[in-house]
Amino acid sequence: MILLFTVIISSALAKDSSINVTPSYVVFQSVATGQESRSATIHITNSGYSSVKLGDVVLEGTHSNDFNITNNGCTQTLNIENTCNINVKFNPTSSGVKSTILSISYGDGSDKLSVFLTNQESNKHKVKNLLPPVMNELNILEEMNAGGVYNLNWSALGYHDDYDMLLVMFDCTGMATGTCGSSYSNSEKLYESIPLSPSTTTVGAWDSNGITATNFNYTHSFIVPATRKDGSAWAESGTPVVVRFYNKSSEDSEAGNSSLSLIIPGGLTNDYYDTSGRKIQKTICPASGCTKVN
């Protein structure tokens, strides 16, 4: 039996969102020395390049001799929307916990995708998969004026060693209720930050299997655009916008995975826009403020 632990996440904020590898972490069932496991299949998909050249596929690390690439269908030029496969087996030369990295170069060879291979999953990786990060604190005004500069603060609670965060806003004018900002690439996107690193970290409240989570604290200065994306003025009564947060750990970046759209928990005095709790609704007003309707 082979256990595959795949981090499946949607949307963007990738080191390279045009190409990805799944799974990014494979746990093989332990077998006796000199025996080999069943094969695990690694999939590489070109989702954004017109074509991309895949180069060397190698095993790296102290225990690379305990794993074996049995099929490499990925040293090729991969056209857009195409997928290739690599097969790997675990064949230990000695007993004990073994791990290695499957590395796949692409482009000019300086960029790489990677997959972690092991015969024993760590407690830390278990909790990373079981408990994805969530927003923990959030400070964004309900109304923001055109041209204004606002410092937004929030924190994310999670078990990875690091996270990059992306703040995205969508203009919901004329959108059917609940449909605005349904995808990172939606045309109504009016703003996205650069990938943001935390300003500080603190010990989190979660603890699982002896592993303690971390609070990653962020601050970002947001300048409200003077006009809407199409150049028209913000509505006098206020323009509804949807705010979403996407994040990615360095492990996911190295694996070429996309980012996770974070759940924003209740009790943060925010108006939810969707039933899954990943989008909140705010308002952008003209520079002079919104006209209040009696």
Same domain, 83 and 151: no
* Residue 199: φ, ψ to 5°: -80, -35
Taking the C-alpha atoms of residue 243 and residue 75, their distance in angstroms, rounded to an integer, is 41
Domain end point (choices 80, 103, 121): 121
In a domain, 291, yes or no: no
In a domain, 126, yes or no: no
Same domain, 279 and 143: yes
Same domain, 113 and 161: no
Same domain, 100 and 31: yes
Neighbouring C-alpha atoms within 13 Å toward the C-beta of 226: 1
* Residue 124: φ, ψ to 5°: -65, -40
Same domain, 176 and 225: yes
Same domain, 137 and 12: no
Mind listing the pLDDT tens digit of every residue in the chain (294 residues)? 333 333 222 223 335 678 989 888 898 988 999 999 999 999 999 988 999 999 999 999 889 999 999 999 999 999 999 999 999 999 999 999 899 999 999 998 888 999 989 998 777 777 776 677 888 888 889 999 999 999 999 999 988 888 889 999 999 888 887 788 888 888 899 999 998 999 999 999 888 878 899 999 999 999 999 999 889 999 999 999 999 999 888 777 655 667 788 888 765 555 778 777 888 899 999 999 998 754
Domain end point (choices 76, 94, 121): 121
Q: What is the CATH number of the domain that holds 34?
A: 2.60.40.10
Q: Domain residues for 105?
A: 2-121
Same domain, 190 and 228: yes
- Residue 194 carries which side chain, given as an amino acid letter? I
In a domain, 18, yes or no: yes
In a domain, 292, yes or no: no
Number of domain units in the chain: 2
Same domain, 104 and 137: no
In a domain, 194, yes or no: yes
Residue with token string 């990943």: 278
In a domain, 172, yes or no: yes
> Is pTM beyond 0.75 here?
no
Domain end point (choices 72, 102, 121): 121
Burial class (CB in 10 A: 0-12, 13-18, 19+), 220: middle
- Burial of 81-116, coded b for 16+ CB within 10 Å and e otherwise, reads eeebebebbbbbeeeeebbbbbbbbbeeeeebbbbb
